[in-house]
Amino acid sequence: MTKSFYHFLMKFRHPEPKDAISRFANHAYLDHSFPKNSFDYDEVSNYLELNGHYLDSMRIFDEAWETYLFQEEKETRY
């Protein structure tokens, strides 16, 4: 993988978020303890389970992670 999950997530930041992933990205940006350099699902997931009070559901993270994996796989092919 070339980008950390955090780096990937930041492209969804928006001043007026209209969906759950944009709200997640905005909150992660403000979370100074977020594991910004992690490529590891378990590390990020465990962090969010303990500290991700801003997530309505871990499903939002899981969907974002799936999109992250898809994008990273696509980028490494080309």
Report DSSP letters for 25-76, one per residue.
HHHHHH-TTS-TT---HHHHHHHHHHH-TT-S-HHHHHHHHHHHHHHHHHHH
Question: Are 39 and 7 in contact, with CB atoms under 8 Å apart?
Answer: no
Domains of the chain and any CATH numbers: 5-77 (1.10.150.260)
SS3 12: helix
pLDDT range class, residue 14, cuts 50, 70, 90: very high
Interval 23-76: pLDDT, tens: 999 999 999 999 999 999 999 999 999 999 999 999 999 999 999 999 998 877
